[in-house]
């Protein structure tokens, strides 16, 4: 694992430790970024410390206490009569930094970012930034907004936490139900960004998928009776199980139908299927459970031709009633094509496009190209593959789409 990956994995926990110890979310994040920069300069030359997380917490704590002292001194100079003196224990360097390194407050940080005082979009954006470790540019890409807009949104969320005096602690039992739905949505987005990155040279970021799965396990331990929590964890496991076969030796994307299924993680599949089986018998399923059931049907097929497409099509119909969206309809079009033929899928895509869903998105062009290729319309398929390649910001996806277009030349 590279130093960069180590830092990415440690950053959310280090931030959580500082916010618990000091508060001051915004200043704590700045201090963590300074500590990460110091580590990126020193560790490659001096080697990894015995306790990397403790090292980062200690350095970030010193940076933060220095900043708090400077801010307090400036406040005293500017308005001595109105200054609130910070407690000595808050200003002192973290004498228990090493002990803090043994405590993982990431789950509390996750719930802090999902506080109801924040708007839903701010909850998601702030959690992706603070807990998921995504850059502002990556989050902006996921939300399809300019980077500057997303930066302002995250900054306002931090100020809202500060202004509202939101405490850093786990919510009370009676508040968990309302907060956990946002938490699940955020973890889902973090996982998706890791499984198929929205931009850049790499198809996937295992640091994000691993962190999303770890946090989903933590939430399930907190709420073991919540079927949707179990459903999301199952969905992540069943999807991530295919990761070893998603890329070739050269890093090129390998589509599901062409993957070597012997390389799939059978232990993850078994755990995911067991979770799905357990939750579906409890009553009316939720959207994460339905998606997990779809993933299980894909994973349980020994060969592509063994896939139970009629059942998958039916489940997408259920999912569309739960959470209607252009993305769900896009996936249903693929399942419909596999059951009733590519023309049926293309007709559904035409309805989706006419309604403005996913207008200009590369996935719409990519799916249309695939179905046109299945229908034997090579020239039209090639044009759509080329259009999709021009629109995606993911280098592996672009290379894959270009290769499909070239094959049809």
CATH number at residue 341: 1.25.40.10
Chain CA centroid to CA 13, Å: 16
**Residue partners of 70: CB distance under 8 A and separation at least 6:** none
This prediction's pTM:
0.77
Q: Tokens representing 367?
A: 């799916």
H/E element, 287:
helix 287-300
pLDDT for 84 beyond 70: no
Q: Mean pLDDT over residues 226-252, rounded? A: 94
Nearest partner of 193 among 114, 115, 254, 140, judged by Cα: 140
Structural domain for 6, as ranges:
1-103
Our CA angle for 238, 227, 329, nearest 5°, is 60
pLDDT digits (tens, 9 = 90+) for 108-163: 888 888 888 888 888 888 888 888 777 888 788 767 678 999 999 999 888 888 88
Last residue of a domain, one of 80, 103, 126: 103
Final residue in a domain of this structure, among 48, 73, 103: 103
Give the count of alpha carbons within 13 A of 92, CB side only: 7
Helix pair angle (362-374, 395-407), 10° resolution: 30
Q: Does a structural domain hold residue 91? A: yes
Residue 398 in domain: yes
pLDDT for residue 334: 98
pLDDT value, residue 94: 44
CB distance 49 to 55 below 8 Å: yes
Residue 398 has pLDDT above 90, yes or no: yes
Q: Which two tokens stand for residue 250?
A: 């050269």
- 3-class DSSP state of 61: helix
* Total domains, the chain: 2
From 47, 77, 103, give the residue that closes a domain. Answer: 103
pLDDT tier at 82, thresholds 50, 70, 90: very low
Question: For residue 229, is pLDDT > 50?
Answer: yes
Which residue in this structure is represented by tokens 């801010």? 71
On whether the CB atoms of residues 408 and 378 are closer than 8 A, the answer is yes
18 within domain boundaries = yes
- Of all residues in the chain, what percent carry a pLDDT higher than 70? 90
In a domain, residue 342? The reply is yes
Q: Is residue 322 part of a domain?
A: yes
Instruction: List, in order, residues 6 or more apart from 204 with CB less than 8 Å away.
Output: 194, 195, 196, 197, 243, 246, 247
The rounded distance, in Å, linking the Cα atoms of 406 and 376 is 15
CA atoms of 84 and 289, how far apart (whole Å)? 50
């Amino acid at each position: 694992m590279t130093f960069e990956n180590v830092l990415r994995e440690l950053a959310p926990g280090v931030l959580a430790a500082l916010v618990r110890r000091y508060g001051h979310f915004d200043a704590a994040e700045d201090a963590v970024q300074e500590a990460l920069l110091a580590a990126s300069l020193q560790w490659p030359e001096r080697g990894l410390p015995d306790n990397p997380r403790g090292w980062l917490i200690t350095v970030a704590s010193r940076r933060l206490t220095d900043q708090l002292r400077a801010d307090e001194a400036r406040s005293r100079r500017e308005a001595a009569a109105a200054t609130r003196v910070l407690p000595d224990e808050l200003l002192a360097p973290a004498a228990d930094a090493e002990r803090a390194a043994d405590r993982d407050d990431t789950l509390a940080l996750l719930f802090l970012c999902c506080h109801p005082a924040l708007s839903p979009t701010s909850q998601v954006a702030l959690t992706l930034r603070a807990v998921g470790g995504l850059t502002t540019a990556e989050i902006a890409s996921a939300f399809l907004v300019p980077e500057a807009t997303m930066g302002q949104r995250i900054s306002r969320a931090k100020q809202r936490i500060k202004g509202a005096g939101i405490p850093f602690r786990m919510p009370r039992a009676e508040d968990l139900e309302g907060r956990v739905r946002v938490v699940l949505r955020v973890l889902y987005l973090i996982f998706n960004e890791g499984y198929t990155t929205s931009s850049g040279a790499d198809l996937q970021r295992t640091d994000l998928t691993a962190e999303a799965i770890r946090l989903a396990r933590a939430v399930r331990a907190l709420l073991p009776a919540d079927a949707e929590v179990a459903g999301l964890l199952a969905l992540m496991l069943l999807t991530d199980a295919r990761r070893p076969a998603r890329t070739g030796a050269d890093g090129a994307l390998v589509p599901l139908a062409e993957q070597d299924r012997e390389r799939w993680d059978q232990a993850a599949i078994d755990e995911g299927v067991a979770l799905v089986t357990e939750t579906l018998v409890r009553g009316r399923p939720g959207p994460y459970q339905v998606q997990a059931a779809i993933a299980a049907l894909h994973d349980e097929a020994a060969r592509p031709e063994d896939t139970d497409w009629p059942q998958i099509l039916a489940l997408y119909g259920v999912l569309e009633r739960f959470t209607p969206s252009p993305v769900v309809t896009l996936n249903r079009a693929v399942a419909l094509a596999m059951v009733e033929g590519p023309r049926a899928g293309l007709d559904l895509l035409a309805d989706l496009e006419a309604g403005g869903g996913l207008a200009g998105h590369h996935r719409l062009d990519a799916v249309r190209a695939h179905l046109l290729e299945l229908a034997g319309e090579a020239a039209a398929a090639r044009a759509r593959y080329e259009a999709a390649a021009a629109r995606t910001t993911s280098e592996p996806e672009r290379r894959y789409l270009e290769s499909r277009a070239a094959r049809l030349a």
